[in-house]
């Protein structure tokens, strides 16, 4: 039996309040800057939670202008025409896709558009857009957006991306709560290995949160709102004794992955190799993370990749700043890695970004690859008093940590008992 096709990352893009370029994003992470503020344009006057990482005032047109010259002119022009007619979050998906494709040098006929897939990670993405249209319907139905029946669909993200980039391979969305980004990556790997695709674009869409979802998460006890509304930069505090829930956040990213043979054929720059990505479930629809489910999945992925636990140097943790979730993940890591767990380095990107929800695995994979290439791990900020059960090295502090990473693990665990974990490594020809 032949070995499966090797898969590599050849393009990346990012858009978070910490930065919308790869260099700017990495700089913000390594300097331990918090992206969390009070919500700016979102009306949270009736919502308990007042803080988040906010992109609501982001200038889409300015970003498009910066992409002119880097992107294919025809694709850039199609994006320009679309931006005024599509919802805000869909526009961000288009811009990140354009950015990632340019970063991968995938324009100019270097890839066959019939053999490129586009997979958007997320579901119920345009929530605030739909919320505002429902309010308009209550006031005067004829003034609501006449395209809501189309642009309110998650699939419109994939459709717009394929239109702008001129793609004719398979396109679809993948919903798996906060594991959506990794689940979409897993689907993209399958597209390349089993469905005659050369290149796959994975878009971690920005979740357009509305006040309804924010308040519902407060009532559930999932997000922070008790003590840090007036100190937003302190609200996300993974592994700290005062953590009280995650901080909802805007943010997204995009990955261009392709078969190694395709990347080498066109002389593409290779950021990293994807060794594997696997998923399982806890068999429980409630937001109650399972140590058994997480440990079972991490061990299965190591086995599938034919790796021993001591092959992993670094784990980018899910670490959302929830009382139960943070400890469940630590326990599952210690169960799988044993004594090697104490030789690993972990960090929590959400300590600075908050929880970008459906896009988090893509956003944090971009963060992890950039750290791996830099030989530096960003600090986990917001830990004033480390939970006594957390006895692993979680890069606590405000300064970057020099750490050579050969192979890393990215954890993602979503509501509904959905788990998906990936392993990436430095590329070796």
State the burial class of residue 113 (Cβ atoms within 10 Å of its Cβ: 0-12, 13-18, 19+): middle
Average pLDDT (93-114) is 97
318 tagged catalytic: yes
Please identify which of the residues 355, 357, 395, 420 carries the catalytic annotation. 355
Q: How many angstroms separate the CA atoms of 338 and 176, rounded? A: 29
pLDDT at residue 368, as a whole number: 98
Domain with CATH 3.40.47.10 in the chain: 7-272, 276-425
Taking the domain 276-425, which CATH number applies?
Answer: 3.40.47.10
pLDDT digits (tens, 9 = 90+) for 252-274: 999 999 999 999 999 999 999 99
**Hey, which CATH number is domain 7-272, 3.40.47.10, 3.40.50.261, 3.30.930.10, 3.40.50.170?**
3.40.47.10
Calculate mean pLDDT across residues 10-30.
Answer: 98
Q: What SS3 state is found at 327?
A: helix
| Catalytic residue list contains 378 | no
Instruction: Average the pLDDT over 184-213 and give the result.
Output: 97
pLDDT at residue number 313: 98
Strand ranges for 354-399 from DSSP E: 376-377
Q: Where are the beta strands (DSSP E) in 348-386?
A: 376-377
Q: Which of 160, 250, 305, 318 is catalytic?
A: 318
Per-residue pLDDT tens digits for 116-126: 999 999 999 99
Whole-model pTM above 0.75? yes
Q: Which residues pair with 274 in a beta bridge?
A: 7, 424
The predicted-structure confidence for 138-164, as pLDDT tens digits, reads as follows 999 999 999 999 999 999 999 999 999
277 is a catalytic site residue: no
What is the C-alpha separation between 119 and 172, in angstroms, rounded?
5
Residue 295: name the closest of 335, 249, 250 by CA.
335
What is the average pLDDT value for the chain, to the nearest integer?
Answer: 97
Question: Quick one: how far is CA 379 from the chain centroid?
Answer: 18
Query: Helix, strand, or coil here: 224?
Result: coil
Query: Which tens digits make up the pLDDT trace of 203-249?
Result: 999 999 999 999 999 999 999 999 999 999 999 999 999 999 999 99
Name the catalytic one among 178, 277, 395, 420: 178
In this structure, what DSSP letter does residue 3 have? P
Residue range 6-12: mean pLDDT, rounded: 98
Q: Count Cβ atoms below 10 Å from residue 314 Cβ, excluding itself.
A: 24
User: Residue 3: its pLDDT value, please?
Assistant: 73
Return the axis-axis angle of helices 88-103 and 155-165, rounded to nearest 10°. Answer: 40
Over pLDDT 70: what percentage of the chain?
Answer: 100
In this predicted structure, the answer to whether residue 2 has a pLDDT above a threshold of 80 is: no
């Amino acid at each position: 039996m032949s070995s499966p096709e090797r898969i590599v990352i050849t393009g990346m893009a990012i858009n978070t309040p910490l930065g919308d370029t790869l260099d700017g994003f990495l700089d913000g992470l390594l300097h331990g800057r918090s992206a969390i503020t009070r919500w700016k344009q979102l009306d949270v006057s009736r919502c308990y939670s007042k803080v988040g990482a906010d992109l609501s005032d982001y200038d889409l047109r300015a970003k498009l202008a910066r992409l002119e010259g880097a992107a294919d002119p025809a694709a850039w022009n199609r994006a320009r025409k679309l931006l005024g007619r599509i919802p805000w979050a869909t526009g961000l998906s288009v811009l990140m896709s354009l950015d990632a494709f340019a970063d991968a040098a995938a324009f100019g006929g270097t890839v066959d558009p019939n053999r490129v897939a586009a997979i958007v990670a997320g579901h119920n993405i345009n929530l605030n857009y739909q919320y505002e249209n429902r309010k308009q319907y209550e006031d005067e139905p004829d003034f609501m957006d006449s395209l809501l029946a189309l642009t309110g669909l998650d699939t419109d993200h994939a459709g717009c991306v394929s239109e702008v980039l001129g793609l004719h391979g398979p396109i679809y969305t993948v919903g798996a709560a906060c594991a959506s980004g990794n689940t979409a990556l897993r689907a993209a790997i399958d597209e390349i290995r089993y469905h005659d695709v050369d290149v796959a674009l994975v878009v971690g869409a920005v979740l357009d949160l509305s006040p309804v979802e924010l308040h519902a998460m407060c009532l559930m006890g999932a997000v922070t709102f008790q003590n840090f509304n007036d100190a937003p930069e302190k609200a996300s505090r993974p592994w700290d004794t005062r953590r009280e829930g995650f901080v909802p956040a805007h943010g997204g990213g995009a990955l261009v992955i392709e078969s190694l043979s395709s990347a080498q054929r066109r002389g593409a720059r290779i950021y990293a190799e994807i060794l594997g990505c696997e998923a399982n479930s806890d068999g429980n629809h409630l937001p109650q993370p399972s140590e058994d489910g997480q440990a079972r999945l991490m061990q299965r992925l190591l086995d599938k990749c034919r790796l021993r636990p001591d092959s992993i140097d670094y784990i980018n943790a899910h670490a959302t700043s929830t009382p139960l979730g943070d400890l469940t993940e630590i326990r599952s890591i210690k169960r799988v890695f044993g004594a090697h767990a104490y030789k690993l380095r972990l960090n929590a990107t959400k300590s600075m970004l908050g929880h970008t929800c459906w896009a988090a695995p893509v956003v944090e994979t971009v963060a992890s690859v950039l750290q791996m290439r830099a030989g530096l791990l960003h600090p986990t900020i917001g830990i004033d008093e480390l939970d006594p059960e957390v006895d692993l090295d979680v890069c606590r502090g405000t300064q970057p940590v020099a750490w050579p990473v050969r192979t890393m693990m990215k954890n993602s665990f979503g509501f509904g008992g959905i788990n998906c974990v990936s392993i990436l490594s430095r590329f070796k020809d």
